Structure formats: C-alpha cells, structure tokens
Chain A
Amino acid sequence: MDEKTRTRVGGPEDPREGLEAVVALRRTLEALEAAQVENAFVAGWSWARIAEVLGVSKQAVHKKHAERIRDRYPGEPPRRKGKGA
C-alpha cells in the first residue's frame, strides 16, 4: 500500500511537487468548504444539519462560516425559513 501511495501521489522523485500539491489541495478544500456551506445555507439548511453532514459540531461550523455568510446575505436569505439556529 505504501508503494502504491508513493507512485500515485506526488511521487518521491520530486518532493516539492508533492508538497505543493498538498498546499494547493488545502487551499482548494477551504474554498470548497466555504462554497458548499454557503450553498447549503442558501438552500435553507440549518447550521445543525450542515454540521452533521460535515461531521463537526454546530459551533465549529457557525464560528467558521456564519459571519461571512450572513454578511453576504443580509436579511432573510432565499428559501430559508429560520429552522434550526
């Protein structure tokens, strides 16, 4: 398994490329999480439900995303009925 991972990810012949891929993935992951949480919020999902699917606490999701998303959707967001907090 170790050998397989090695040949597939980055490759030991250029460690920098492999490490930079990690950085690129991290950046993309952050952006993707922000986008999908926003999408879920706009679709009317509660923080609790979003958190459950992400597998983290409601507080964690709220802390990380609420301020940004509320700034983007002042007032009542579309299709959102205020269920959950």
Chain B
Amino acid sequence: MIFNRFARETRRCVVAAVEEARMLGHDSIGDEDLLLGILRADEGVAAEALSSLGVTLEGAQEESEGMLSEALSSVGVSLEEVRREAGDAFEVSIPDERRIPFSPRAKKVLERALREAVRVRDNHLGTDNVLLGILRNEDGTAVRMLARLGVSPEMLEERLYELRGRAAS
C-alpha cells in the first residue's frame, strides 16, 4: 500500500508494531500496537515526545494487559484464574507462521499519517505523523491507553510540535 512513502524509522516502527501485536496475542495490528511500535523502535521525535511525558514501552504494555484483564472481568472472567488453571503453557502470543493483518483502525491511522505528511510537505512519513494519526483517533484504544498513563492527546501533540520545531531549527 503506502509503505514506500515511509521513512526508515516508520518502517522499523511498523515492524516493531507487528512484533508487539504478536506478543500480546492481537489477531490484528491495532492502533495501540502502532503506539507500542513507536516506543519499541525508540527513534525520532515521536518516541522522544512520549518518553518525555513518562510513557515507556513497559508501562504501555502493562496498560494493554490491564485493559485486557478489565474487559475480561466485565464479563466475569478472571485472567489470573485462567492463567493459573492453564499453567505454564498459557501464553497469549500468536505463532510466527500466522500472518496478522492491520486492523481498520490502524489502516486509518496510517492513511491519516500520510495525509498529514503530504499536508506539511514532509518528504517522508515519519513516526511523528503516525503518532499524530493515532492521536486524531479519539475513540481508539491507543488514546485510551495513553489516558490511563495520564497523557492527553493535547499534551502529546503540543510536545510533538515543540520537539519538531526544535529539530527543524
């Protein structure tokens, strides 16, 4: 699709997002996995903006698990009990041979990111564009994950523009 427009950091971020999704047992790559991908690839102003607001890969992974656990307990299932019952063999990760597609939300994020990159005439679609795409999706899982970590889209966007301004000057 639009991968040839991606900056190298963005390609790394997408590869890392796929790995995160696989590890977390997501059968599609969601917008939250793209966020985790940015953190895991740890390159560029997007990663810098996130870490400057105290968002770490480990913290975000924990929230992801917390959200899964809460969703399960909303229907009366305890992740802990399932885990205990199944023993050591229980792991949510998806085997390497199974392909995982992008979710509609993640696709939308990447399309938005591309539009944003074109609008500001970036030659390449950077992870900052991806992060902006993620933030524009207020209903997305990533935005709610960030909220749980005490970071609002507004805060993050502001920090991103600050850092981008500094990088450009």
Contacts and interface: CB of A to CB of B under 8 A. Distances in A.
Interface in A1-57: 9-10, 17-18, 20-21, 23-28, 30-32, 34-36, 38-39, 42
Interface in B48-67: 67
B7 interface: no
A67 interface: yes
B139 to A, nearest CB: 8
A68 interface: yes
A45 to B, nearest CB: 13
Which of under 10, 10 to 19, 20 to 34, or 35 or more describes the interface residues of B? 20 to 34
B72 A39 contact: no
* Chain B binding surface SS class: loop
B2 interface: no
Which of under 10, 10 to 19, 20 to 34, or 35 or more describes the interface residues of A? 20 to 34
A35 B71 contact: no
Interface of A: 9-10, 17-18, 20-21, 23-28, 30-32, 34-36, 38-39, 42, 67-68
Given A28-B92, A32-B86, A35-B86, 7 more contacts: A10-B75, A17-B71, A21-B75, A23-B71, A31-B25, A39-B87, A67-B95
